Every structure is written in C-alpha cells, then in structure tokens.
Amino acid sequence: NKMNIAVIPGDGIGKEVVPEGIRVLNAAAVKYGLDFNFDTFDFASCDYYQKHGQMMPDDWKDQIGGHDAIFFGAVGWPDTVPDHVSLWGSLLQFRREFDQYVSLRPAKLMPGVTSPLAGRGPGDIDMMIVRENTEGEYSSIGGRMYPGTDREIVMQETVMSRVGVDRILRYAFDLARKRGGKLTSATKSNGISITMPYWDERVLEMQKSYPDVTVDKYHIDILAAMFVLHPDRFDVVVGSNLFGDILSDLGPACTGTIGIAPSGNINPEHKFPSLFEPVHGSAPDIAGKGIANPIGQIWSGAMMLEHLGHPEAAQGIMAAIETVLTDPALRTGDLGGTADTVTCGKAIAAAV
C-alpha cells in the first residue's frame, strides 16, 4: 500500500537537504519494495510569507492532514520574518494541531564522527531524548502590561496538564522498557516550584506501573552538566517541552554534530500525520552553497519509515549512513570530509 508523504522543504538549507532525503527514500523503495507518493508544498516557508503575508494558507490542514506523514526540512529566515512569527505560523502549529505530542530525538555517537568530548568513541553515547511537544513552557498565554513605560511587565504562562504529562511519560516509560529499563527525568522542582514538582509527582505515579524501569531524576542544570561529564550514564531521557528542546541540542552536540541529528514529531496513535525533520535549522549562513550535510534529513526519513511500519527499510538506511560516514570523500565539510550535499546524498542512496 502506497505511503502518501507531504513534503515541505521550507527555508534555507531545508530546500537543499530535503531532495537528498527523498533520493534515499526512493532508493529504499526499490530495495525494500515500498511505494511512495510525494506531494511537495511551498508553504511553511518565509518565501511563502513574503508573497501571502502568512506562513500557510487557511486550508493547510485540509491540504496535508490526510497524508501519512510530513517530511519537513527547516523553517525560519530571520532577515525577512521574525523567528517567533515563522515558527508559530508553521512548525509549532503542526505539532499542536496534529497532536504530535512526542518529539523523539536520538543522540548517538556515530562512526566517522569525532565527539568534542575527550575519549568518547562510537557506541559510548546512545540516548533517546523524549520531549513533550505540545504544551509546557511553549504556551501562547500571556501578555504585556504598562507597555512602553518603566513599569512594564511581561508574563507568560507555563501550562502542564495531567493528560499532557502522563501521555509523554507513558511513551518514555514504554520506550525505556524496550531499550533496557533505564529512564532519566529532567526536572527543576527546586526552583520552578509549581509546575516542576507536579512533573515529578506524575513521574512517581507512573513509575508504579513500570516496576521494571529504573528512574533517575536530575535537575536540568546538573543534567546538562552530566551530559558533558558522563553521557554514558543516560539512555532514555524525558523532559518538558523546553528541557527536551535544550537536551536534544546538547545531546547531539556531545555526539559531535547537530548537523546529522534527526527528529520525529509523533502522534503515536496515528490519528494525525507525524512530522519528521532534522534537528538543525535553516542555517542562513551556509544556505545556497550546496554544502549542507543531508544526513539529519536522511536519518529523519529512516525514522519516518520506522513510524510507518517499515523497520527493516529504516535499518537499511541507517546502515548506509554508517557506511558513508566512514569515508571522508563522501562526508560533507562539517565532518571534515570533501563531499557536497548532493554527493553525500547520492552515496547514501547507492549504499542502500
């Protein structure tokens, strides 16, 4: 049965790496007998905003809501559209409206990639960051009082719901159970004294249903420090929207580059399409040069296949990525290689 994929390249290097992701997916289709239909959309980009004064058409949900998944590049071009406008007008809408409440982000030290941490090699770091993706610190509730005066105050609400906290914890506990039974919860209940103690309370409650999972709790400040000092201690790490955001850049940084890190914005119930995108952004500084590393996008494609029920094809792509990473002539410049975006993408497609 055909997989209908909505393709959204977005901005900057998104437009350069998405085609390579598709190239590799097509190679996997041949190899593993899959059937894709790709529909490409020009919205959720700052170019679209400049033409239409908004990031997406009014009927965007109708246009992509029926697809099986969304294959997304990157969005944001701060020179023309402020980040909070472009992001809240696109990516953050998808996450919320399609109830993609799990953001899943592996941080794995791969062959051919040098960790900035002394003495760490492939296999030493292998974590899964599970991030709450629809509520928490990313609320749209708040505002400004006495604007423009010395008395000006600005407030923004962090909102956690039992439904929202419990479902992300359940996902994380299930994943920890599958991966060997170790879960770390990021908190800050000593300082953020209302929402974070609640988070801890729900972790304790959920733990009762998972006696086989060991749970560690770290405050986010010391947890960030621990990622650098002892990354090998972590396996599945669960955090709120903001803490998950920070850890899922920091984790990949410890594995050498955020240029290859993938992510899934997942609606586990398959009620809405899930969205797969690299962790990196649109990278205005290198956009247009054809040198961006396409591996974050390609790895995201593998996660998409996993989600759509094709784990074997996903593993095939992962194996191809590992092969290509060990060859400097096929790696991009950010990894000390000499290949451009297309060369690297073609090599991975060929290896599949």
Query: Is residue 87 near ligand IPM by the rule CB under 6 A?
Result: yes
Query: Is residue 191 near a second copy by the rule CB under 8 A?
Result: yes
Minimum separation from the CB atom of position 48 to ligand IPM (A): 17
Residue 184 backbone class (left: φ over 0; alpha: ψ -120 to 50; beta: rest): beta
Residue with tokens 């020179």: 79
Among 232, 249, 327, 340, the active-site one is 249
Q: Quick check: is 249 catalytic?
A: yes
Distance CA 113, CA 127 (A): 16
Q: Quick check: is 171 catalytic?
A: no
Among 188, 235, 334, 346, the active-site one is 188
Q: Quick check: is 2 catalytic?
A: no
For residues 165-182, b (16+ Cβ closer than 10 Å) or e, as one string?
bebbbebbbebbeeeeeb
Sheet holding 3-10, edge to edge: 36-40, 3-10, 69-74, 274-278, 262-266, 102-108, 126-132, 236-239, 182-187, 214-219
Q: What does 21 bind: ligand IPM, a second copy, none (CB cut-off 5 to 8 Å by kind)?
A: none
Q: What does 161 bind: a second copy, ligand IPM, none (CB cut-off 5 to 8 Å by kind)?
A: a second copy
Q: Quick check: is 198 catalytic?
A: no
Q: What is the DSSP pairing of strand 142-145 with strand 214-219?
A: unpaired
Q: What does 311 bind: ligand IPM, a second copy, none (CB cut-off 5 to 8 Å by kind)?
A: none
Q: Quick check: is 221 catalytic?
A: yes
Region 14-73 residues binding ligand IPM, contact defined as CB under 6 A: none
Q: Which C-beta is closer to a second copy: that of 248 or that of 265? A: 248
Distance CA 342, CA 13 (A): 12
* Residue 80-119 contact track with a second copy, rule CB under 8 A, x = bound: --xxx--xx---x---------------------xxxxxx
Q: How far is CA 272 from the centre of its chain?
A: 17
Check: CB of residue 236 under 8 Å from CB of residue 172. Answer: yes
Q: Which C-beta is closer to a second copy: that of 53 or that of 119? A: 119
Query: Is residue 245 near a second copy by the rule CB under 8 A?
Result: yes
Query: Is residue 338 near ligand IPM by the rule CB under 6 A?
Result: no
